[in-house]
Amino acid sequence: MKRLAGFYILAAVLIATGLIFPDSYYVTVVGVTICTNAVLAVSLNLLMGYAGQISLGHAAFFGLGAYASAVLTTKYGTNPWLAMLAGVGISGTLAFVLARPILKLKGHYLAMATLGMGIIIHIFFVQADWITGGPDGLSGIPEISIAGLAINNDIRWYWVFGGLMLFTTWISLNIVDSRPGRALAAVHGSEVAAQMTGVDTASVKAQIFVVSAVIASVAGSLFAHQQAFVSPESFSFFFSIELVTMVVLGGLASTFGAIFGAVLLSILPEFLLVFEDFEVLIYGAILMIIMIFLPEGLFVSGSRIVTGWLKKRELSTQ
């Protein structure tokens, strides 16, 4: 119970918000964006935070899922769930094939390789217009229904993405405390030491790469159906960077930190809108300032400050 306490709190907040404000713009539009970004950030955090492997190309898997669903449902009339499964197959296979050569690299080389992968896939979305619709994208993606219930309004989408986010969070929390999770933590600490204790580091890293790609792909498929439209812009290098920023901003190696970062970066543009032309400038400044003064991330540094303060109070009352 205690281990998953944070998870239950998150679920309660999510459900309560949906029930109390079903018509609010901040639930039906911003809320859906937050949940989508949170799913992606949590899945990226599995790789970056826990396994310590940076990826600057996570948006590519999100895009592959979205395009698989978009292309198969609009051009071939495939069942949306089968299309989603196809997306999972494509993303998973690609991640599996690339995992070993890419994750063999470290530090800046790894950053470059994942960045390159993301950019190549993005260029493919733009250029292969015979299948992806090119820069204009694909529209008219049909709606989906779950157990006979058509997901055809915003609040229903909120529940779908909210559910996916909770599921992802639950998976993430459980992976971390499982045997593979401990192996990942060992890899993060020292790869050589992990190998010495019998961890097959290459295969552990490959597994987590595939898991995180598959989660992103599922989120992408649902995103395509929710938007009813996909275009390459949503899956660019910039979005990959934004996802990395969410993970780092919240605090690496913390599932809730990733969610916190996703919430923050999804809401921030809404608030910055009033600054109009200054929006980009302020966004960049905020990123720099947080990272300079709280290099461990807002959530991790913040919770450390709070626990430190509580401990001090405990000591002084004794």
Partner 1 sequence: MTDQLFQFLISGITVGSVYALVGLGFTIIYNASDVVNFAQGEFVMIGAMSAIFLYRAGVPYPFALAAAVIITMAVGMLLEKLAIEPAKNASVVTTIIITIGASIFLRGAALLIWGKDIYGLPPFTKDVPISIGNATLLPQNLYVMGGTALSVLAVRYFFDKTITGKAILACSCNRKAASLVGINVNRMLLIAYGISALLGAIAGILVTPITYTSYDSGVMLGLKGFCAAILGGMGSSMGAVAGGLLLGVIESLGAGIISSGYKDAIAFVVILAVLFIRPSGLLGSADAERV
By CB under 8 A, which span of 27-35, 58-66, 168-176, 279-287 interacts with partner 1?
A: 279-287
Q: How far is the CB of 108 from partner 1 (least distance, A)?
A: 5
| Cα→Cα distances 197→191, 201, 252, Å | 10, 10, 24
DSSP assignment of 1-13 equals --TTHHHHHHHHH
Quick count: other Cβ atoms within 10 Å of Cβ 28? 18
- Quick check: 140 binds partner 1 (CB under 8 A)? no
Q: How far is the CB of 56 from partner 1 (least distance, A)?
A: 8
For partner 1, the closer CB: 101 or 148: 101
For partner 1, the closer CB: 15 or 193: 193
Pull the structure tokens for residue 40.
């992606």
Q: How far is the CB of 177 from partner 1 (least distance, A)?
A: 23
Pull the structure tokens for residue 252.
């690496």
Pull the structure tokens for residue 50.
């826990």
- Quick check: 46 binds partner 1 (CB under 8 A)? no
| DSSP H stretches of helix in 190-278 | 191-196, 201-227, 237-250, 255-272
For partner 1, the closer CB: 165 or 243: 243
If you ran DSSP here, which 8-state letter would residue 232 be given? Answer: G
- Quick check: 193 binds partner 1 (CB under 8 A)? no
Quick count: other Cβ atoms within 10 Å of Cβ 16? 10
For partner 1, the closer CB: 116 or 163: 116
Q: With CB under 8 A, what is the number of residues at the site for partner 1?
A: 44
Q: How far is the CB of 116 from partner 1 (least distance, A)?
A: 4
60 Cβ contact list (under 8 Å, min separation 6) = 117, 118, 121, 122, 235, 240
Pull the structure tokens for residue 57.
């190309």
* Residue 251 main-chain phi, psi, to 5 deg: 130, 120
- Quick check: 288 binds partner 1 (CB under 8 A)? yes
Taking residues 90 to 119 in sequence order and writing x for each that binds partner 1 by CB under 8 A, - otherwise, the string is -----------x--xxxxxx-xxx-xxx-x
Q: How far is the CB of 123 from partner 1 (least distance, A)?
A: 4
Q: How far is the CB of 248 from partner 1 (least distance, A)?
A: 5
- Quick check: 304 binds partner 1 (CB under 8 A)? no
Q: 3-state class of 51 per DSSP?
A: coil
Distance of CA 151 to the CA centre of its chain: 22
- Quick check: 295 binds partner 1 (CB under 8 A)? yes
- Quick check: 185 binds partner 1 (CB under 8 A)? no
By CB under 8 A, which span of 17-25, 168-176, 226-234, 247-255 interacts with partner 1?
A: 247-255
Q: How far is the CB of 161 from partner 1 (least distance, A)?
A: 26
For partner 1, the closer CB: 7 or 237: 237
Burial class (CB in 10 A: 0-12, 13-18, 19+), 216: buried
Contact 205, 106 (CB under 8 A): no
Q: 3-state class of 23 per DSSP?
A: coil
- State which of positions 198-237 bind partner 1 (CB under 8 A): 237
Judged by the rule CB under 8 A, the positions of this chain that interact with partner 1 are 48, 54, 101, 104-109, 111-113, 115-117, 119-120, 123-124, 126-127, 237, 241, 244-245, 248-249, 252, 277-288, 291-293, 295
